[in-house]
Structure 1
Amino acid sequence: MNLVSIRIITADIKRLARFYEQITGIAVTMYTEDFGELKTPACTLAIGSARTLQVFGGEIARPADNQTAIIEFRVSDVDAEFRKLADVINDSLVQAPTTMPWGNRSLLFRDPDGNLINFFAPISAGAIKKFAE
């Protein structure tokens, strides 16, 4: 088994796609006006409009209602990303760059729908080793 994507359901797919393109520098490929994907080497972030839920049988998910998951992107320099994106994420900042007890440097903020995003980089010997494997 292989985890290949995480999908966000949104009421405003264009806004969310633009946001993820802005923070990652990766273009979102829009397959239809209701579905797009941001592909990274490790996983794909899919973005679907609320209209796509009808294909699955109706109101099975609610846009902008996530209170549990964190979407994580490994970056090379958390502090540099913070400086670069400060104006973009200023109103949605949850935690400025902080070194976590498990050895990652972490920046936590929210996307326009309120989903938590973590930009992190392993910095301790143990965390670096974990991600090298």
Structure 2
Amino acid sequence: MEFASVRLITDDLDRMVTFYEQVTGVPASRPAPVFAEFVTPLATLAIGHTQTLALFGEDVAQAASNRTAILELRVQDVDAEVARLRPHVGSWVQEPTDMPWGNRSALLRDPDGNLVNLFSPVTEDARQRFAARPTSIPSDQDANPSGR
């Protein structure tokens, strides 16, 4: 089994696509007018309009009603991302904070109210936990090959 994507359902696809293009810096692909995907080397975020739900059956999902999941985006520098996104994000839940498990984290809500966590491992233990995981984020060594 291979984890393929997470899909959000929305009543306003264009607004959500614009928001996630701003947050991720990744342009959406639109294989159909009611469906969009943000494909990265590590994960895919799919967004479907509520019109797509008819393909699955009655009342299988409801737009803008999630209160249990958090989409997590690992970033190089949480504080820099918060500064970049502040003009585009209407609802910040948590300003950048160092978490007890070693990540620096900022929490926001997308236009439908879904939680989005921007985080960076900042302690040595946290960096070690993520060291073996695939990433498209340059390491400190990649950014500064001399190690300085």
Check whether TM > 0.5: yes
Corresponding position of 1:57: 57
CA deviation after TM superposition for structure 1 residue 58, in Å: 2.2
Structure 1 segment 1-133 matched on structure 2, within 5 A: 1-89=1-89, 91-133=90-132
Identity %: 51
Higher-Rg member (1/2): 2
Structure 1 runs of 4+ aligned residues shifted over 6 Å read none
1: CA distance, partners of 2:73 / 2:8 = 15
Q: TM-score, normalised by structure 2?
A: 0.87
How far apart, in 1, do the equivalents of 2:95 and 2:126 lie? 20
Between the aligned partners of 1:68 and 1:32, the Cα distance in structure 2 is 28
Distance 2:81 2:12 in 1: 25
Residue segments in structure 2 that go unaligned for 5+ positions in a row: 133-148
CA distance in 2, matches of 1:36, 1:110: 19
Alpha-carbon distance in 2 for matches of 1:15, 1:42: 24
Per-residue CA distance 1:21-69 (angstroms, 9 max, x = gap): 0111100101111111001221100000001001001221000000000
Unmatched 5+ stretches in structure 1: none
Distance 1:53 1:2 in 2: 23
Backbone CA RMSD of aligned residues: 0.7
Once the two structures are TM-superposed, the CA of residue 87 in structure 1 deviates from its matched residue by 1.4
TM-score (structure 1 length as normaliser): 0.97
